[in-house]
Amino acid sequence: MINYTEKIPNNVDLGRDRVLQRALEHWQPAYMGWWYDMGPNESHNYEVYLRTAISVEPDGWAQFGYVKMPDYRWGIFLQPRDEKREVNFGIHKGQTAWQEVPGEYRSTLRRVIVTQGDTEPASVEQQRMLGASCPSMYDLRNIFQVNVEEGRHLWAMVYLLHRYFGRDGREEAESLLARRSGDADNPRILGAFNEATPDWLAFYMFTFFTDRDGKFQLCALAESGFDPLARTCRFMLTEEAHHMFVGETGVGRIIQRTCEVMKENKAEDPSDVRALGVIDLPTIQRYLNFHYSVTLDLYGSDVSSNAANYYTSGLKGRFRETKLNDDHVLTDTEYPVSEVVGGKIITKNVPALTALNERLRDDYIDEIADGVGRWQRVIDSAGIPFRLTLPHKGFHREIGNFAGQFISPDGEVLSEEAWKNHEFEWLPSPKDYAYVLSLMSGRVVEPGRFANWIAPPTRGVNNQPLNFEYVRFN
């Protein structure tokens, strides 16, 4: 029997909700089994300096301290309810926001929640071996923080399934623990969450690109007319910000270190740069191309009747829906999408309602471009003439209008053969992966030390010094 308020910090009155308690009594041990099997490898005895969400107050929601990860207090938090909140878009616009699942949207909503929920444990599975090759104790602590918070995000979605979807919800909650990233028979639902995350450059790219997809999906769901979903997602966004920070600063620190070494040694040629034990900039560009293109697919088809239905029904809004200045119904508006016609990429207008995936993808791309610009400044201030670029939206896509096309990073439509001839100029080759992995053959865990291929961060976690003992191995 679990002592709920002790063990599971929450603001959903869990102590009084018998039905939810019973559901969690079954699920919680299964979750722990999953964590022991699929959580960070060999980490169960470590004491990690982690933050735990303990309330929803903006100025005190997290508490820092040493925790063994299996003892982490995975909590259930929803942003406090606003009694006046309405459905803000679609055909139900103006109704009071729903506190229970509308019967007609039950299976659609469940699907939306399951698809989001599935990404959370998937990324933990993808990252589980990386502790063995961490570049510092600081970075090791950060990946563990990301992992426990993805675990908490799974709890957040499972709370919704248990609380609002009865038996189907409980079955879905079990399936979330049964699928496995990359498994041939029972894979995770979305493509990018079945790719390997083989090394730390891939990890930082993943948290920069793919966790940011998470942010945009959560932002769209945070607009939902189903109020418990909206409030759950709002709170998850506070944690997502840290994941993207880990990614952006991680790649930035790798770039910084590469530039330092290039300058010190007057090395320019990638093979000379590699001989100095850092990651050459063209390889970083290829990783960028891979993670960007794989993540763009997560937004789905450019033209989608599902996306239109989610919106019209009031289930999933646009990025910053309530800040947008239009009718929030979108029946008379259009939105541009691209496609390949006769070997050329053309843009045409389609009904805006059907183009909501594309629109969310474009919002995402704007934010990504800003982050890549910040990486570029690191290169520029080192005086190195190298430009990081975002490839064309159609490059290396498997979903939507560009699927089956062979588009170069510059946006040229090529034949399959021509594209394949350049594939490993544009995407990481097995040799690139092998090289990056060769730098990460063991872990660096002396407090304050950093692997040669990455610069230290500008500051430690929670104002602690860089040589703080962020992980005690016992």
Q: Which residues bind Fe ion (CB under 5 A)?
A: 120, 150, 153, 211, 214, 240, 243
CA atoms within 13 A on the CB side of 472: 8
Least distance to Fe ion, CB of residue 380, Å: 29
Please state, as a whole number, how many other Cβ atoms lie within 10 Å of the Cβ of residue 148.
24
Please check whether residue 353 is in contact with residue 312, taking contact to mean a CB–CB distance below 8 angstroms.
yes
Please check whether residue 258 is in contact with residue 278, taking contact to mean a CB–CB distance below 8 angstroms.
yes
CA atoms within 13 A on the CB side of 453: 28
Q: Which of 118, 150 has the CB closer to Fe ion? A: 150
| C-alpha–C-alpha distance, residues 332 and 336, integer Å | 14
- Written as six digits, the tokens of 412 are 């040229």
Least distance to Fe ion, CB of residue 119, Å: 7
Least distance to Fe ion, CB of residue 309, Å: 25
Q: Which of 159, 435 has the CB closer to Fe ion? A: 159
| CA-wise closest residue to 229 among 67, 108, 365 | 108
Q: Which of 202, 439 has the CB closer to Fe ion? A: 202
Q: Which of 118, 172 has the CB closer to Fe ion? A: 118
Least distance to Fe ion, CB of residue 36, Å: 20
Q: Which of 31, 406 has the CB closer to Fe ion? A: 31
Q: Which of 120, 358 has the CB closer to Fe ion? A: 120
Q: Which of 249, 283 has the CB closer to Fe ion? A: 249
Least distance to Fe ion, CB of residue 293, Å: 20
Could you write out the DSSP letters of every residue in 302-336? SS-HHHHHHHHTTSS--TTGGGS-S-SS-SS-EEE
| C-alpha–C-alpha distance, residues 103 and 141, integer Å | 43
| C-alpha–C-alpha distance, residues 139 and 450, integer Å | 9
Q: Which of 195, 240 has the CB closer to Fe ion? A: 240
Dihedral of the alpha carbons of 280, 286, 290, 291, in degrees to the nearest 10 = 40
Least distance to Fe ion, CB of residue 461, Å: 17
Least distance to Fe ion, CB of residue 120, Å: 5
Least distance to Fe ion, CB of residue 458, Å: 22
Please check whether residue 404 is in contact with residue 415, taking contact to mean a CB–CB distance below 8 angstroms.
no
Which amino acid is residue 118, in one-letter code? D
